[in-house]
Structures are given as C-alpha cells and as structure tokens.
Structure 1
Amino acid sequence: MDNKDRDSIIGDVPATGQLDGTVAVAGEVTPTDWSVMPVVKGSEDSVVMELWRLLKQEPALIVSAGYVLLSLLGLWSSYFFYLRFNLSILDYLQISDFLVAGLRDPMYAGILAGGIFLAVVLGWPDTLRRRNPARVEALRARHWGWRILFSKSPLTSWDTSGMRPLTGLTIAVVFFMAIGAAQYSMKKAEDIRDNGAGASVTVHLNGDAAPLKEQARLLGSSSAFVFLWWPEQRRAEALPISAIKRLQSVVLPPKAVAVPLVSASRTKTAAE
C-alpha cells in the first residue's frame, strides 16, 4: 500500500475531509441552532426579499417607505379614534395632515415593536424546524407535547399558508399593528368620552368678550380644524382654527405641602 492509500484510510474508516481541510470526527453531532431570526434560505424569491433588494439599491427609499407606512398607520388609527365621536376625520384632513398623522403618538413605535416580537415568538417553532430538522424530529418522537409544538398548524408553520417565512412574518406584523392600533385608538377615545380622560381646555372664540363657560376635552387638531369634545352636551365638534382666539388649559390646583408631624408637635410644645 503506497503513501497515498495510507493517507486516505484511518484504521478501517475512510477519512472524510471538510471543505476547510479539517477531518470530521465520527459520531459528531451538529449543534442545535436556537436562533429566532426567520430563515432566509428558500425565501430568495419572496416579495419581502425582492423589496429588500430594491431598498438596498436605493437606501433613500427606506426613509420614504417608512414615512409612508407610519403615515398610513396614523390615518388608520385616527379614523377609529374619531369614529367613537361620530366624526368623519377624513373629511377634515388636508394633504399636509396625511403626512404627519403617524407622528402624533409615540405609542405606534411600541405597537410596531410588539408586532415584531409576537410574530417572531409565534414563528419560532417553524424557524427551529427549518434550521434543525433532525433534532426536531427526534423531539417529536419523544413526547406528544413536542409533536403539538412543532406541528404544521397555522400558528406554528407557514407551510399551511403557502407563503414564504419572511412574507408570512411581515404580513403577521402588519396585521398585528393594524389591529393593535385600532384597539388602542378606540380605547383612548372611550376613556375621553366616558371616563373624563384627556386634556381639559377653555375655548375663547373670536369676537367674544369672554371664553365659553363649559370646558371641553381637546381631541386633536389638523392644519385647519381643532376637534373638541363637550362632556356636558355629549357631542364632538370641529372648529375652524380661524374662529378660535385662544385655547387655554385648565389651571391646576397648587400642590398641597404636607406639614411634618414632628415640626407640628414642637410648635405646640413651644406655645404651651
């Protein structure tokens, strides 16, 4: 046996060389990949990947696309907010209002983060199945709980939907943001309408010597209107900005200063 044959055999087992020149150890187990990031492999032709390639070629479009999406979210939320007051907000908005609709409440950023977190957590079983197929099958064979967790259901796998993982994850985030923003806006409106929440303001109209007696709740504003809720009359109103002379917030009562008990007792003793 020549040197070439000796180098190709280790004992009775042929040597298996890796791409980097190292030799694999017999019986070596591939470590489990617990990453929660969606699997990119196999999603090269998905809509999300196509859009991502386009955005990488034109980075300026990232800011524009994000701004448009945030504006759409703001319009969506504003619609459900003013719907609780029977106001058709879209009839009062101008083009400039559409562009800043999503910048009025920082809660939208929290809704976005919550949507991403929920979609990643719900998609984690599908991600583990794609990254570690052998490990997942071994777990499924051990216990019925693993079989339920890694089953191909609409909540744990994108296979039943026929969508790529990245596309499904993106749609899930958008869906969560739409539902979450609508619920948040309606709850905020109901607190103002029924529970007396919101900022109280005194309205002083142009041409009037004194402000209106009833205090209103400030709902919001646009480039041409101010939206108010009158609790006593149980009605909402859109006043043109040109008709308002002043909006004044309600004066808060001074904060009461607590007198220490020790100082009070000393003062009483000195008086005696």
Structure 2
Amino acid sequence: MDSKETSQKQNEPRNDAHLTERIFGDGPRQLLTHPGLILSSTYFIWALIGLTYLVMYYSHFNISILKYLEVTDILIAGLQEPKVSIAVFGALAVIIAIVKAAMWSTRYQQEKGKNFSPWMRVVFFVFFYVPKNRTALRLSLLVSLILYFAVFLELLLADEVNQIKSSANNFVQVKQEQQWIRGQCEASQIASWKLLGTTTKFVFLYNVDCDSTQVLPIESIQSIANVPNTNENLTEETQQ
C-alpha cells in the first residue's frame, strides 16, 4: 500500500507537467529563453483587451469607436483604463484556477475514477471534464477566457454607463466658436454634457437631456469646463 501511494505521488509532478505542456505547448520555455517576448506579448494582450473595452464601452452610446481610432489610440488603450488592468490580472487568476482544477481532476479520476458511482461520473463530466485532445483542451481554455472577459467587462461597463446616464455630477460645458454648445433637442441645457472620453483627434460627449451623443474634432473645441454646481442651470450671462 505504501509503495502504491509513493508511486502515485511520484507520478503527480509528471502528470501535472504533461497537462501543462498539453495546454501551453513550448510557450513557457520560449518565454523564459526570450524574456523580451514576455513584455511584447503582455503589451499586445493589454492593448487587445483595451481595444475590446473601448468597443464595448462606446457601443452603449451607439458610437462605432473603431472609425475614430488612430494607431496610437489602440497602442495605449489598455494602459489608459484601470479596469483593463483589473481584467488582465483577473484573467491570470482564471487561467491558474482552470489549470489547477484540471490537474486536480486528472489526478482524482486516475486515483479513484474506477470507484465512481454513475452520478459522480456525470458531475465530473459536467464540471471537471478535461479533454484528452490537445486542440479541444486549448479551445476550452480560450472559450473560458472569452466568456470571462465578456461577463467581467460587461458588468464593469454596466455600472459605469449607468453612472454616466443617471448621475447628477461630472457635467461639463463645451465651447465652440465662442459659444457654449447645446444638444440637438429643445430641452437641452448648456451644462447637460458628460465627457465620455477622447482619442487623438476626437472628443466624445453624451447629452443627458437629449439622451444622445456627439463626436467633435478636437481642433474645433475652444474649451471644456467642469460645471461646479449641476443643480443650477447656467444663465445666459454664463455664455458670455
């Protein structure tokens, strides 16, 4: 019995290493051999997630942000938004959790799989199934990450978008051609704008009164000023 347990413990690192190799292939070894790849790949992932965040964020305001982005905007997209960093570190935690769960599932089934009752087999197949095919294993990890990012970013964005549309704070007024601009509806006030964000060449605004957005070239804007008190309407004297 002792020799059997010793043999199982000796096989655990070998099985874990085999599973890691099936998932990541020669990637970890290549990264350790060429450290520059770590920085490049991390930056690429950061930028890609940042771009995804921008697309999802501006889609809530019916803005096709890809039409307004320059290469520079894409490169710094992931670094400008703190939520992207949270998503990246969360993804690392998800990957580690999936790999650890797969290792545990593989070991547990090898040790006790023969004694599983029918319902235990169903539970393991549904929640802890580890594909034997390398492509299927990698694809399942990729799908898990995509679902994670979709749910995580959408939950973050839902709260942020709600704050922008319903909050009585953080209004701005925008001056263009010596005048404070209004929205394109009769109810619009001067101080009913929310600043959604900027790119290299454009400013994106949301008008609370009109529930509409406006995209302005940066060079056409003379100034953007914070509104100190959103509970009071600006008078015509403020415009001058």
> Could you state the TM-score of these two structures normalised by the residue count of structure 2?
0.73
**Do the aligned partners of 1:32 and 1:135 also contact (CA within 8 Å) in 2?**
no
Q: CA deviation at 1:125?
A: 4.6
Taking the TM superposition and a 5 Å limit, the aligned residue runs for 1:62-141 are: 62-118=38-94, 120-121=96-97, 124-133=100-109, 135-137=111-113, 140=116
- Match in the other structure for 1:246: 223
Shift of 1:105: 1.9
Secondary structure at the aligned position of 1:159 is classed as coil
1:108 aligned counterpart, secondary structure: helix
Residue 192 of structure 1 pairs with residue 169 of structure 2: no
Cα distance in 1, alignment partners of residues 223 and 87 from structure 2: 34
Change (3 A) 1:26 1:158: closer
| Conserved? CA contact 2:105–2:130, under 8 Å | no
Q: Residues 198 and 218 of structure 1 are in contact (CA less than 8 Å); yes or no, is this contact kept in structure 2?
A: no
Partner of 1:208: 178
RMSD: 3.5
Q: Tell me how far apart the structure 2 counterparts of residues 52 and 119 of structure 1 sit (CA, whole Å).
A: 14
Residue equivalent to 1:224: 201
Bigger Cα Rg: 1
Task: Looking at secondary structure, tell me which structure has more helix per residue.
Answer: 2
Q: What's the CA shift for 1:222?
A: 0.4
Q: Distance in 1 between matches of 2:66 and 2:17?
A: 40
Q: 1:163 to 1:156 in 2, by over 3 A?
A: farther
Structure 2 residue aligned with 1:266: none
Uncovered stretches (5+) of structure 2, i.e. residues with no partner: 183-189, 231-240
Summarize the Cα distance change of 1:54–1:134 in structure 2 as closer, same or farther, 3 Å threshold.
Answer: closer
Could you give the per-residue CA deviations for residues 209-237 of structure 1, whole angstroms, max 9, x where no partner exists?
66762331010000111100011122101
| Matched-pair contact (CA < 8 Å) for 2:198–2:204 | yes
Unaligned 5+ segments in structure 1 are 1-24, 254-272
Identity across the alignment (%): 22
Q: 1:160 to 1:56 in 2, by over 3 A?
A: closer
Change in Cα spacing, 1:175 to 1:49, as seen in structure 2 (3 Å) is farther
- Answer yes or no: is the 8 Å Cα contact 2:69–2:199 preserved in 1: yes
* Counterpart among 123, 134, 141 of residue 169 in structure 1: 141
The change in CA–CA distance for 1:161 and 1:134 in structure 2 (over 3 A counts) is closer
- Residue in structure 2 matched with residue 152 of structure 1 by the alignment: 125
* Whole-angstrom CA distance in 2 between matches of 1:27 and 1:209: 86
Q: Which moved more, 1:195-204 or 1:59-68?
A: 195-204
